[in-house]
Structure 1
Amino acid sequence: MIQSKMKWKFTYRNPEENSAGLPGVTPLTQQLLEKRGIHDAEAADRFLRPSIDQLHDPMLMEGMDRAVARVKEAIASDQSILVFGDYDADGVTSTSVMVEALRKAGADCDFYIPNRFTEGYGPNKEAFQFAYDSGYALIITVDTGIAAMEEATFAKELGIDLIITDHHEVQEVLPDAYAIIHPKTSADYPFQELAGVGVAFKFAHALLGRFPKEFLDLAVIGTIADLVPLKGENRVLASIGLQAISHSTRPGIQALRKVCSIEGDMNEETIGFTIGPRLNAVGRLQDATPAVDLLLSEDLEEADQIATFINQLNQERQKIVAAIAKEAEEMVSVENGEAENVIVVAKEGWNPGVLGIVASKLVRQFDRPAIVLAIDEEKGEAKGSARSIDAFDLFSNCMEIRPRFIHFGGHAQAAGMTLAIDQIDDLRSDLISLAEEKLSDDDYQQVLDIETTVELEDISLKQIEEVNQLRPFGMGNPKPLFHLNHTPKEVRLIGSKKNHLKFQFQSQQSRLDGIAFGMGDLYQQISPQAALDVVGELGINEWNGRKNLQVMIKDLRVKEWQLFDHRGSKHIEKNLIIPPNQTFAAVSFQGEEQAPCDVPVIQAETVEHGDSYDGLLIIDLPKRMSDMTKLLSKLETRKVYVCYHIQESTFLKTWPSRDHFKWFYGMLLKRGRFNLHEEADLLANRKGWDKSMVEFISEVFFELDFVRIKDGIITAESEPSQKDLRESSLYLQREEQLKIERTLYYSTYKELKSWFDQYMNQRFKQVKEEVTNGL
């Protein structure tokens, strides 16, 4: 048995019999669409075929007409405009879209992005003062500003008009700005989940008076990288944006393709795992200006230089994250194999720009909410980021202890904070207490939402291609996770470090490869012919023109008991892995005291009913089959390792038939005597027997009083009583030993597993009944 590492949530229901089918899709695809709230053909067509005509009129957004008029006034009056952006991927793409749109409209404009380390997040008075001193009459924020109450007032005092374009959560009081363009402040706007770049794109559309398709390659980056729900307008911008960026001639995109070695069409994973992290890396380590310069560059050579620089920054960011993550992991207090309910780690010298990534790594590794803080001894403060698990609302719980913080903000799963150094320990204690009060053990497991269970025969190239019509996947439209139960034909370790698993699932008509990254430690725990439950993403792997079906496995489990065959092995310890936090025991029937890997040895006769172990090593063979069956009826375990060997085999010796006994006795009557010492070898050679068989026949006859043996001379009794061979204890003992070896040692794996199944499954049924009846 292998426990799943995550909690599996089967979210599907069986289709209703009277459910109307959607034209042109398989029942599986229909099920996926219905789960996303799509129940009719028109809605399905709009979802599967996103198009520009599904986008809303940007003028429906409140403040848009006033903002556009102000920009046109600035252009007509030769007033300079400053675009104030943010330092993440959404922020830099929003800035690029706005700047390019303004320039196309004829504006004199430039951009400003605050430094994460010296200015923090969002507009600030110093930057606005700089804008005033530099002669800017109009500031347009992108992807920021909705909470800038004081800064808006300050801009007004300076005589600068402020247009705020943003998408973040709206506060109770709005800034006193010239205009605010925000989906959530626009009652008449049909879609409220646009990313910052989506709002900027809408502004560009309204300003230019046409659909600005040239900005789609930028809009898709911010939309996907900022993890907004990929539905409604976001789905349209992401879908058509992926087509645009795949064929973009923008020098900055071409340069990113080159440094990232991107070939062919891009998809949401290219953006999320390749493009987005590189643009984010700039602002995490320094001023984010180069990221905007790259996207706005019109010169390929210049773009190549900037992209190379950004790629180097990303590599540096990866090293910094790895180093801090390693230090943070070592600082996590672990007892009984588990971390504290909430992780809070802090150290001087950590880069604040990457602490959110480190916190995410800690959450994935330990399944605990995590806060990672960088200590500033001079200020006496600690500043950092937090990430959480689904069951623990980080924002609401931290708000219960709000006085601990100097600054705090965020939402349920992510937050940023500043606090005094002497508050760190109290913060940790408070959050641990809140978690203990509100969470159960199950809450600390990551949850996998499973779309449906599929049979191997139902997985086809056509079906996967149809599922891929639901792309782009992301927030609000997660990549479907499927459950499959099948016995793999092959399991092997792959990767340079042999830390990944590859499975081959096969039926008469289908073949599916399974890849489980980072699960190489389970290799020794998967027994042959074990039926695996796997949860993963279905996909197509193309290699040398061939398309192979594959499932990228996120988690797996084995529900049944498992048998591991190490019979006769001289290298058991190399192949035997004792999982941490599991209780193993070795059982001996014949007084053995040593077991592989120093597993504690118990004697079979001391096992009591109800004894339970995660794994059981059987290190020698019983003298009677009933001893083994008795052991299995008492003891509960999910893993059995047969580790016994045989010094002298009974099975490999010739077993005498009744005709052998009859012939030997007739020969003795005819000759009158037989010298066991001198003639046994001769007789064995002449008859093709084994010498031990001659000796065994003689000992059985002696036990049954058929013969006398003295000094190795065998003579027949003159008047022996009639007895059956099975009345001999030696005969029965040899028969029993033969059965034991044939069943438990010389059987095939399949035969041995089948024999154990009789008793193991019976035991599990008994245990289940006891639990059901409350015993």
Structure 2
Amino acid sequence: MLKSKLKWNFTYNDEMQHDFFFDDIDLSPLTSKLLWRRNITDSESAERFLFPSLDHLHDPFLMEGMKESVERVRQAIKKEENILVFGDYDADGVSATSVMVEALREAGADCDFYIPNRFTEGYGPNEEAFRKAKENGIDVIITVDTGIAAVHEAEVAKELGMDLIITDHHEVQEELPAAYAIIHPKASASYPFQELAGVGVAFKFAQALLGRFPKEFLDLVVIGTIADLVPLKDENRVLASFGLKAISQSPRPGIQALKKICGIDGDCNEETIGFQVGPRINAVGRLQDASPAVDLLLTREPEEAEGLAKLIDQLNKERQKIVSDIAEEAEKILEADESGENDSVIVVAKPGWNPGVLGIVASRLVGRFDRPAIVLGIDEETGEAKGSARSIDAFDLFVNCMKIRGIFKHFGGHAQAAGMTLKIENINELRRELNRLAAEQLTPDDFTQSIDIENTIDIEMLSLKQLEEIDKLSPFGMGNPKPIFHIEHAPKEIRQIGSKQNHLKFQFNKSGTQLDGIAFGMGELYRDISPSSKVEAIGELGINEWNGRKKLQIMIKDIRIAEWQLFDYRGSKYLEKKLAGSNLNNHAALTFEGADSTPFGMDVLDKHTIMNEKDRNLSGLVVLDLPARLDDLAEIIRKVQPEKIYACYRLDDSAFFEKLPTREDFKWFYGMLMKHKTFELSRDASKLASYKGWSKDTLEFISQVFFELDFVRIENGLISLHPSPSKKDLNDSDTYQLKQRKLQVEKKLYYSNYQELKSWFDQYMEQVDLAVKEEVTYGL
């Protein structure tokens, strides 16, 4: 057996096993089921999903506050008033700022942008920035991707005589700011879609202001929409789909320079945005003022763009190093913590940690410890701690932190991610209260990361055409996850790959279909997978294209083996090498011949010890030598029920190739004695053995069996018939029985092939399927 690291959640049920088709759309049953899983159950919905259209976008004026905001901006343009775009420092905020600035300038506005410094100002609008804006002659402030919690700052703007227009998409809190206008999907009951990114809201404002669809901004919209992890459905799916096409062909010098520095040669997809473009833009605001990122997206000069792209790439490399160092420090703090105070929710803090990267560190801690994590940087001069939080599916950070809102000086975010500022003396209370809330709400099972599996597939049913059809469901992301599939098959080949041998590559073959499997970071499992075991793997299907050749591939997320495993190392002279790297925790070495040492210092146990121990619960056995009887080993297997058996025995003195004499052989030898009366073993054995084609050992064996049965007497090597032998069977001889048992043992346990040996063990296993042991959830 091999247990999975994740909790596998099979999201399909028997209702979905029948073929499911859409009228008028030519789709395979598999693709149809994937759409059904996404609540797309009719042809019209399927058509809209598979073929996004700009016509599917909603009228921006359906959003409350839009009409008033557009009128106010047009009034500002007419009066030549100054407008300030107040943005955020992440990829969504940067792209939203760029969209808003370009739209305002195209409309004829006199505008500039401002993004607060994460380190000196924190998140969102602040009073000092607003007062400086007023000093600089600003009449209208438009926030993008921020501002919905700026209750105090809205009052400041009103006091200073500036009109504040808030465009945002973050969670609406208890009190709305008293702004001139608020454009927010979740604060607008009349708007059909509430999950736009900050840049999506800015784009809708640009469309309303310009009075046309501004397709030239789509290359910016896609950055924030994908990087901010909003659900890629409805309007977001349309904007992301057309945005990916736009950014792939974008004429913007900044986009071209950024793609070049990322090494993006062809078209962009959601992964290049999410893992290459987005992180680099995010890196700027994590380490310094984010303005260079906006400048990169707005510039029209190729040379300036190239210089800014290089700067941003260098900042990203610095960010990666800082994240790695802080994550290592945080892990050491947690590993050394024996207080139990971080049992349910991790809260870790230290002076000097860069607040700009703590969200990434928190994500790493969630992945490592399977707990919600809050990571705080302490500023001893101000007496405050600033940081970020990430959570697990079962724990809503926003809801639970709002229950203790008074602990924070500033707080905002979503169910799975948040940012906060609090006094240093409140850190312990934060840890204590969140752990209390988590203990009340969560079960031990909630702390195991789960993964949704959309379908179990048969390898022979896969084809390039099928995978290309599944790709029509892209772009994938939040709300439309890339499908995770389940396969179950014995691999034809498993090998370690990578410079450090830290990855695995599988090759599965069935009925002429080959599927390659790549499992990154799982190289250490190589010695724990028997080459002939049936492997269950879950992962993302794709097409690997190399030198013009396309191959089916699954990017493996997790693996498990439901059945017990046999590792066949029989006859090996290099046992230590074979076992090196194997997980031998809770394993014991089994000996029948009294071996007293084993590789790696495992406990050496004999049959008596194993059968009489009650407390020891072994998960595996390393069998060092052969038993005298098959039943001896069978009894142990019945009792232990090992998940793994390593057959590591050798034979230096085999009886298998010495043929067991037949009853006719025994009759012939007895008849020869009756005829000659005596036989001198030492003198005539070689001659007789040669005549009959026996070995000398065979002749001695027959003689010993007859002697034990009292058929003959042996005195000084002279064999003679017993004058009055009793009637006995050959099986009454201990020597005959011992020979039979030895031959049986060698035949079953040593000279059998792999499948024969496994079948012999199988009959003593209870065969409890691991998949039954692990929780499996069905239904939507």
State whether TM-score is above 0.5: yes
Aligned in 2, Cα 1:171/1:391: closer, same or farther, shift over 3 Å? closer
Output aligned runs, 1:135-534, within 5 Å.
Answer: 135-333=137-335, 340-534=343-537
How far 1:717 moved relative to its partner?
4.1
Partner deviation per Cα, 1:373-421 (whole Å, 9 max, x = no partner): 2222333333221211111223333444445444443332222233443
How far 1:640 moved relative to its partner?
1.7
How far 1:152 moved relative to its partner?
1.9
Match of 1:535 among 518, 534, 538: 538
Output aligned runs, 1:12-161, within 5 Å.
Answer: 12-15=12-15, 21-22=22-23, 23-161=25-163
Aligned in 2, Cα 1:398/1:205: closer, same or farther, shift over 3 Å? closer
2-side partners of 1:666 and 1:712: how far apart?
19
Residue in structure 2 matched with residue 732 of structure 1 by the alignment: 737
Contact 1:91/1:196, CA 8 A, preserved across alignment: yes
Aligned in 2, Cα 1:423/1:154: closer, same or farther, shift over 3 Å? closer
1-side partners of 2:420 and 2:255: how far apart?
34
How far 1:35 moved relative to its partner?
2.0
Does residue 643 of structure 2 align to residue 638 of structure 1? yes
Residue in structure 1 matched with residue 567 of structure 2 by the alignment: 564
How far 1:608 moved relative to its partner?
4.6
Relative to structure 2, which stretch is displaced further, 477-486 or 152-161? 152-161
2-side partners of 1:756 and 1:631: how far apart?
11
2-side partners of 1:244 and 1:294: how far apart?
17
1-side partners of 2:679 and 2:573: how far apart?
42
Aligned in 2, Cα 1:180/1:436: closer, same or farther, shift over 3 Å? closer
Contact 2:388/2:418, CA 8 A, preserved across alignment: yes
Q: Equivalent residue of 1:533, what SS?
A: strand
How far 1:566 moved relative to its partner?
2.2
Equivalent pairs counted in the alignment come to 766
Residue in structure 1 matched with residue 653 of structure 2 by the alignment: 648
2-side partners of 1:763 and 1:113: how far apart?
59
Contact 1:654/1:690, CA 8 A, preserved across alignment: no
1-side partners of 2:453 and 2:744: how far apart?
47
Partner deviation per Cα, 1:607-636 (whole Å, 9 max, x = no partner): 159864211222222111121222222233
Aligned in 2, Cα 1:638/1:577: closer, same or farther, shift over 3 Å? farther
Q: Which has the higher contact order (CA 8 A, sep 6+)?
A: 2
Q: Equivalent residue of 2:85, what SS?
A: strand
Residue in structure 2 matched with residue 551 of structure 1 by the alignment: 554
Match of 2:746 among 728, 741, 746: 741
Residue in structure 2 matched with residue 773 of structure 1 by the alignment: none
Aligned in 2, Cα 1:672/1:84: closer, same or farther, shift over 3 Å? same
Residue in structure 2 matched with residue 3 of structure 1 by the alignment: 3
How far 1:451 moved relative to its partner?
1.3
Residue in structure 2 matched with residue 692 of structure 1 by the alignment: 697
Contact 2:20/2:33, CA 8 A, preserved across alignment: no
Partner deviation per Cα, 1:407-455 (whole Å, 9 max, x = no partner): 4433322222334434444543443344333322211111111112222
How far 1:365 moved relative to its partner?
1.4
Output aligned runs, 1:595-674, within 5 Å.
Answer: 595-606=598-609, 607-608=611-612, 612-665=617-670, 674=679
Contact 1:333/1:340, CA 8 A, preserved across alignment: no
Relative to structure 2, which stretch is displaced further, 682-691 or 164-173? 682-691
Relative to structure 2, which stretch is displaced further, 75-84 or 34-43? 75-84
Q: Equivalent residue of 2:764, what SS?
A: helix
Q: Equivalent residue of 1:555, what SS?
A: strand
Contact 1:578/1:584, CA 8 A, preserved across alignment: no
How far 1:61 moved relative to its partner?
2.1
Partner deviation per Cα, 1:299-346 (whole Å, 9 max, x = no partner): 22221111111111111111111111112122223799x983322222
How far 1:247 moved relative to its partner?
1.1
2-side partners of 1:516 and 1:37: how far apart?
30
Report the AA paired with residue 554 of structure 1.
Answer: K
Report the AA paired with residue 518 of structure 1.
Answer: G
How far 1:18 moved relative to its partner?
10
Report the AA paired with residue 12 of structure 2.
Answer: Y
Instruction: Give the TM-score, by structure 1 length.
Output: 0.93
Aligned in 2, Cα 1:79/1:751: closer, same or farther, shift over 3 Å? same
How far 1:668 moved relative to its partner?
5.2
Report the AA paired with residue 3 of structure 1.
Answer: K
How far 1:473 moved relative to its partner?
0.8
Partner deviation per Cα, 1:339-360 (whole Å, 9 max, x = no partner): 8332222222211111110110
Partner deviation per Cα, 1:86-127 (whole Å, 9 max, x = no partner): 100000001111111122222222211111000111111221
Unaligned runs of 5+ residues in structure 2 are 774-780
Residue in structure 1 matched with residue 776 of structure 2 by the alignment: none
2-side partners of 1:226 and 1:692: how far apart?
81
Report the AA paired with residue 69 of structure 1.
Answer: E
Contact 1:589/1:605, CA 8 A, preserved across alignment: no
Relative to structure 2, which stretch is displaced further, 397-406 or 385-394? 397-406
Aligned in 2, Cα 1:428/1:581: closer, same or farther, shift over 3 Å? farther
2-side partners of 1:764 and 1:557: how far apart?
11
Relative to structure 2, which stretch is displaced further, 100-109 or 213-222? 100-109
How far 1:47 moved relative to its partner?
0.8
1-side partners of 2:515 and 2:455: how far apart?
17
Contact 2:562/2:769, CA 8 A, preserved across alignment: no
> What's the % identity of the aligned pairs?
63
2-side partners of 1:756 and 1:332: how far apart?
44
2-side partners of 1:594 and 1:18: how far apart?
59
Report the AA paired with residue 107 of structure 2.
Answer: A
Aligned in 2, Cα 1:65/1:411: closer, same or farther, shift over 3 Å? closer
Aligned in 2, Cα 1:380/1:580: closer, same or farther, shift over 3 Å? farther
Q: Equivalent residue of 1:627, what SS?
A: helix
Match of 1:707 among 712, 716, 725: 712
1-side partners of 2:438 and 2:594: how far apart?
49
Contact 1:75/1:108, CA 8 A, preserved across alignment: yes
Aligned in 2, Cα 1:392/1:181: closer, same or farther, shift over 3 Å? closer
Report the AA paired with residue 738 of structure 1.
Answer: L
Q: Equivalent residue of 1:479, what SS?
A: coil
Residue in structure 1 matched with residue 777 of structure 2 by the alignment: none
Contact 2:20/2:32, CA 8 A, preserved across alignment: no
2-side partners of 1:763 and 1:680: how far apart?
55
Relative to structure 2, which stretch is displaced further, 348-357 or 437-446? 437-446
Unaligned runs of 5+ residues in structure 1 are 769-775
